[in-house]
């Protein structure tokens, strides 16, 4: 699966001021990590955000969000955001902040 390079560039711009951010190919897309923990990914033209189990239901109630169902079985704690939900840079940044709030508080991975 190819991923939207324009979206990945927008994400990189949003994350450039955060320390310990890296990206790598994953799930057929490009994933972003903080301290070695995935916070978000781009699959096609959609954003996947790791919000964590406690914030999952609340995130699913937001416009343009749905369960991440990559394998036919939804992954609890991950949401997929449709392109309409991240057209605006402020909306994209808000979703990334949700991912940072969860993944940034996990123990760093080597």
Mean pLDDT per 10-residue segment, the chain (110 residues): 89 92 91 96 96 98 95 93 97 98 94
- 108 within some domain: no
Which helix (H) or strand (E) is 42 found in, with range? strand 37-43
Q: How many CA atoms lie within 13 A of 87 on its CB side?
A: 4
Residue 60 inside a domain? The answer is yes
Report the number of distinct structural domains present in the chain. 1
The CATH number covering residue 71 comes to 3.90.1150.30
67 within a domain of the structure (yes/no): yes
pTM: 0.94
Domain membership of residue 110 (yes or no) is no
Report if residue 88 sits inside a domain. Answer: yes
Residue 73 located in a structural domain: yes
Query: Who contacts 8 (Cβ-Cβ below 8 Å, separation ≥6)?
Result: 23, 30, 42
Tell me what pLDDT residue 70 has: 78
In a domain, 69, yes or no: yes
Question: β-strand 37-43 against 46-50: which pairing, if any?
Answer: antiparallel
Instruction: Look up residue 86 and give its two tokens.
Output: 């991240």
Residue 80: domain span: 5-103
Is residue 109 domain-resident?
Answer: no
Secondary-structure percent of the chain, ordered helix, strand, coil, rounded to 5:
35, 30, 35
């Amino acid at each position: 699966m190819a991923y939207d390079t324009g979206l990945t560039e927008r994400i990189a711009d949003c994350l450039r001021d955060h320390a310990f951010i890296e990206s790598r190919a994953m799930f057929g897309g490009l994933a972003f990590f903080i301290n070695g923990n995935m916070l978000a990914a781009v699959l096609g033209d959609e954003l996947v955000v790791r919000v964590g189990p406690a914030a999952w239901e609340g995130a699913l109630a937001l416009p343009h969000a749905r369960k991440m169902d990559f394998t036919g079985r939804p992954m609890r704690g991950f949401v997929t955001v449709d392109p309409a939900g991240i057209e605006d840079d402020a909306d994209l940044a808000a979703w990334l902040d949700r991912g940072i709030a969860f993944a940034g508080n996990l123990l760093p991975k080597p």
